[in-house]
Amino acid sequence: MEIMDINEKLAEPKNGDNLEEIETLIKVKQEELTREVAAAFERDDLQEAKKLLAKMKYFANLEDKLKAKKVPS
């Protein structure tokens, strides 16, 4: 759900404040997921780590979309 919300915000017309807000949200979520993945590996919970890494990939894709939107065309 969260990823869909961010995708929708990225689809909106260019708004600098909105993009900064999205960028902060993505960075915070990536940091959170990084900690969670590390904890999952420490527990040897590979299934959880796999799910978290998939989420991280989605957020990396969102970050790429954000960067593309920030670059003037």
Tens-place pLDDT, residues 8-64: 777 776 666 688 888 899 999 999 999 999 999 999 999 999 999 999 999 999 999
User: With left for phi above 0 and alpha for psi between -120 and 50, is residue 55 left, alpha or beta?
Assistant: alpha
The 8-class DSSP code of residue 44 comes to: T
Q: How many other C-beta atoms can be found within 10 angstroms of the C-beta atom of residue 38?
A: 12
pTM score of the predicted model? 0.79
